[in-house]
Amino acid sequence: MACQKKGKFTITGHITDAADTVMYLEHITLGDGIQVIDSVKLTEEGFYEMNGDTIGNPEFYRLRIGSQCINLAFDSTETVTVDASLKNMSFGYKVQGSGVCDTIRLLCLKLAELERKIRQVSDDRNYTIQERSDMIEQFIKDYKTDVEMDIIQNRYGATYSYFACFQVLGGRLLFNPMNDKDDLAWIRAVANAWDQKYPGCPRTQNLFNIAAEGRKNQLTTRRIVLDIDNEKVRELGIIDMTFPDISGTFHTLSDLKGKVVLLDFTAFSLEGNQERTLQLRELYNKYHSSGFEIYQVSFDSDRHFWTQRCEHLPWVCVYAEEGLDNDMLKLYQVQEIPTYFLIDRNCDLQLRMETTGDLKKAIESLL
């Protein structure tokens, strides 16, 4: 989907108890702040109609009277109805005509409820400072889990998934890819999905930039830890990794503990890949029922090419977005691909190979 197609969207509705007040329609831009694109002075009846231009990819807007705001999003020519009372405009409004805008409404309500619970606990002196801190941390953790499972998962390319990634609590982003590897994973999943739906668009690039900065920050931290205490980091016998499959679901290597795992660093664009895939399929068909699994990491530069090639593979096939610059190649000291590692049921690294030649015997010895 390109970003060139433009149109107009319309917002109509009724704001009660707002006579003689001015309501603004504002564009929440990516780099130029908040810009007013339309305004209306409400009469005693409170009916209004406002318009704005779409640019072909999702953009975010808000209706504002004073400090009260209603968040909206549009990506095409459409008409949405928003009704509210000025007394409870930010959280008591109703929206019709857009499932995206209604899900954004639900996200804002959930965040308001989280803020209410945090204030309640913060003001309760029956708890110690540590108890209050632990409860608030758990509230935030539960909130993020709900949003991840109910809103983002399997809907990574949705406009409201992007919106969810940028919700703010107390002036800070709830999803912090700079320091939290799980948050980074969700941001990257949304970025990959947006890249498929809206390639080249500024908000897609924004997601990738944030993910890249988060990865860089976490990689720097991880390398320091590796230098300081290599044994502690490798207590599983492997350096763990998490990557997304073609649906955006993330798979962690250590989750396969209890199985014999062939870790395959490869690229589907390499010469001879079809033959190697047939060899891997033979191994998988023969040993999978006995506890054998393949965790295949692709370092192809073209994600769409990789998607086409791995769509019907039965094993775990994931994608390293940074290609040959991915840190896992350095951490595993891979000089060329394909390179194979055989991992036993205890998650200990047992064998390193550049071909599949002697794998049958090695797999059988570990099963």
pLDDT in tens, 12-49: 999 999 999 999 999 999 878 899 999 999 988 999 99
Give yes or no: residues 249 and 357 share one domain. yes
Cα 280 to Cα 58, 188, 264, 293, 311: the distances in Å are: 41, 28, 10, 10, 15
214 three-state secondary structure: helix
Give yes or no: residues 340 and 318 share one domain. yes
- Whether 2 is covered by a domain: the verdict is no
What are the residue ranges in the chain where pLDDT is below 70?
A: 1-6, 217-237, 356-357
Give yes or no: residues 116 and 33 share one domain. no
CA–CA dist 118, 290 (Å, integer) = 49
Token couple for 212: 């890249």
- Helical H segments across the chain, by residue range: 89-92, 99-122, 129-147, 159-165, 181-197, 202-228, 230-233, 273-287, 303-310, 327-331, 359-366
**The domain containing residue 195 runs over which residues?**
176-233
- Whether 164 is covered by a domain: the verdict is yes
Give yes or no: residues 130 and 43 share one domain. no
Give yes or no: residues 253 and 359 share one domain. yes
Strands 7-16 and 79-85: parallel
Give yes or no: residues 128 and 223 share one domain. no
Token couple for 194: 């947006």
Using left for φ > 0, alpha for ψ between -120 and 50, and beta otherwise, residue 102 falls in alpha
Residues in contact with 288: Cβ distance below 8 Å, sequence separation at least 6, in sequence order:
314, 315
- Whether 1 is covered by a domain: the verdict is no
Give yes or no: residues 185 and 209 share one domain. yes
Give the residues across from 83 on adjacent strands.
Answer: 14, 94
pLDDT in tens, 181-230: 788 888 888 988 898 888 888 999 988 888 888 777 655 544 433 333 34
- Whether 13 is covered by a domain: the verdict is yes
Rg of the chain, C-alpha, whole Å: 25
Give yes or no: residues 249 and 354 share one domain. yes
**Model pTM?**
0.60
- Whether 301 is covered by a domain: the verdict is yes
The total of structural domains in the chain comes to: 4
